[in-house]
Amino acid sequence: MAVKAGALVLMLTIACALAAPPARAQDKPVNIVVLGDSLAAGFGLAGEASFPSRLSAALKAKGVAANITNAGVSGDTASGGLDRLDWSVPEGTEAVILELGANDMLRGLEPEITRRALDQIITRLKARNITILLCGMRAAPNMGAAYTKAYDAVFPELASTHQVVFYPFFLEGVAADNTLNQRDGLHPNAAGVDVIVRRILPEVEELIARVRASRS
């Protein structure tokens, strides 16, 4: 009797497996790399409080399937990100959240240097059919009017030229708010990261939608 029951269970399992529709390509988790600096790496925070980790949790809570890799390097410039692009964004990556350029500004690098590096990163990622979300940055008030005008223009112009998903200011709602930043006033605390995630989530969902549309 036990043997017959076991056989029946096996037959039912096989029948269910055969009847189940195959997983659609659009429904598979999207492989995302966050290519950035300390704001992505989670400087001064526990690993689970970093931007990639909190973003992953937010997407999961909404039922959005995504595998997010943290490729943030503290202190990195746009040129540094370009230098490590190939090994930081491995094969199988479908989307990149590009968060670089803040350190260029803090070091007073010419905005054209930042522009060229970001442009090359985007161009090379697009050549690999990787979908991109570009995160903008704004110059600090003490950088002067001329520098601020040139630097702030880099990100929206690149987004327009390359037609990528664009989030104008990565630190929107967080910058200059002492309650949302660590003591250095530059890096968000855990609460600040949650604000960033909440604000950028619509653009991340658009990024994922573009990847899924490209799969069909």
Average of per-residue pLDDT across 184-196: 97
Containing structural domain, residue 101: 32-215
Average of per-residue pLDDT across 47-58: 97
What is the pLDDT at residue 26? Answer: 64
3 occurs within a structural domain:
no
Of the residues 104, 152, 187, 194, only one is catalytic, namely 187
What's the number of domains the chain is made of?
Answer: 1
Neighbours of 25 (CB within 10 A): 10
**Structure tokens that stand for 15 in this block:** 């029948």
The pLDDT tens digits for 66-114 are 999 999 999 999 999 999 999 999 999 999 999 999 999 999 999 999 9
184 annotated active-site = yes
Whether pLDDT at 127 is above 50 = yes
1 occurs within a structural domain:
no
Of the residues 37, 38, 50, 104, only one is catalytic, namely 38
Whether pLDDT at 10 is above 90 = no
2 occurs within a structural domain:
no
State the Cα–Cα distance between residues 53 and 34, nearest whole angstrom.
10
145 occurs within a structural domain:
yes
86 annotated active-site = no
What is the pLDDT at residue 27? Answer: 76
10 occurs within a structural domain:
no
**Structure tokens that stand for 170 in this block:** 């990565």
- SS3 of 83-136: the string is HCHHHHCCCCCCEEEEECCHHHHHCCCCHHHHHHHHHHHHHHHHHCCCEEEEEC
**What single-letter DSSP state applies at residue 45?**
S
Whether pLDDT at 13 is above 70 = no
38 annotated active-site = yes
Average of per-residue pLDDT across 173-198: 97
117 occurs within a structural domain:
yes
112 occurs within a structural domain:
yes
20 occurs within a structural domain:
no
Q: Residue 152 is part of a domain; what is its CATH number?
A: 3.40.50.1110
Neighbours of 190 (CB within 10 A): 16
> Sorting pLDDT into bands at 50, 70 and 90, what band is 9?
very low
What is the pLDDT at residue 179? Answer: 98
